[in-house]
Amino acid sequence: MDLITPEFGLVFWTAITFLFLLLILRKFAWKPILGAVSDREEGIKTALASAENARKEMENLQADNERILKEARLERETMLKEAREIKAKMISDAKEEAQEQANKMIAQAQTAIESEKKSAMAELKNHVAGLSVEIAEKVVRQELSNKDKQLELVESMLNEAKLN
C-alpha cells in the first residue's frame, strides 16, 4: 500500500522540475533543433525541386536545340533546292535568250539578204535595161538601114522582153 501512495513532496518537486525542464528545453533546445532540422529538410526539398527543374529546363533546351537544328537543316535544304532551281532556270533562260537572239539575227540577216537581193535585182534590172537600151541602140542603129530587119528585130526584142 505504501508503494502505491504518491507522496506529496515528490509530486510537488516532480511537477516543478518537469515544468522547469519543459520550459527551458522548449525555448533553448527543441525550438532551435526542430527548427534547424525542418529548415534542413526544407532546404533539401527545395534543392531537389530546383534540380528537377534544372533537369527539365535542360531537357527543354535540348529539345529546342534539336528543333532549331532541324529547322536549320530544313532551311538549308530548301535553300539549296531553290538555288538549284534558280540555276537551272537561269541556264534555260540564257539558252532561250540566246536562241531568240540567234533567231532574230538570222531573221535580220534573211531580211537583209532579201533586201540586198531585191536591190541587187533592181540594180541588175536597171543595168540590164541600160544595157539593153545600149544594145538596142547599137542594134537599132545597125538595123535601121534595113526595114525588114528592123521589124524582125523589134519583134524578137518584144518577145525577149516578154520573156523577161
Taking the least distance from each CB to another protein, the nearer of 15 and 54 is: 15
Does the footprint of another protein cover residue 24 (CB under 8 A)? yes
**13 near another protein, rule: CB under 8 A:** yes
Number of residues engaging another protein in binding (CB under 8 A): 35
Question: Smallest distance from the beta carbon of 20 to another protein, in angstroms?
Answer: 7
Q: 31 vs 149, which CB is nearer to another protein?
A: 31
- Helices marked H in 3-30: 8-25
Q: Residue 6 has what DSSP assignment?
A: -
Interface with another protein, residue 45, by CB under 8 A: no
First to last CA, the chain: 174
Write the single-letter amino acid at 7: E
Residue 2 sits in the site that holds another protein (CB under 8 A): yes
Distance CA(8)–CA(53), nearest Å, equals: 62
- The DSSP output letter for 29 is I
Q: If binding is defined by CB under 8 A, does position 47 make contact with another protein?
A: no
From 2-10, 116-124, 139-147, 150-158, span contacting another protein (CB under 8 A): 2-10
Give the interface segment with another protein, choosing from 13-21, 51-59, 111-119, 154-162 (CB under 8 A): 13-21
Q: Measure the CA–CA gap between 161 and 11, rounded to whole angstroms.
A: 169
Which distant-in-sequence residues (6+ apart) come within 8 Å of 150 by Cβ?
Answer: 140, 143, 144
Question: In the complex with another protein, which residue's Cβ is closer, 34 or 144?
Answer: 34
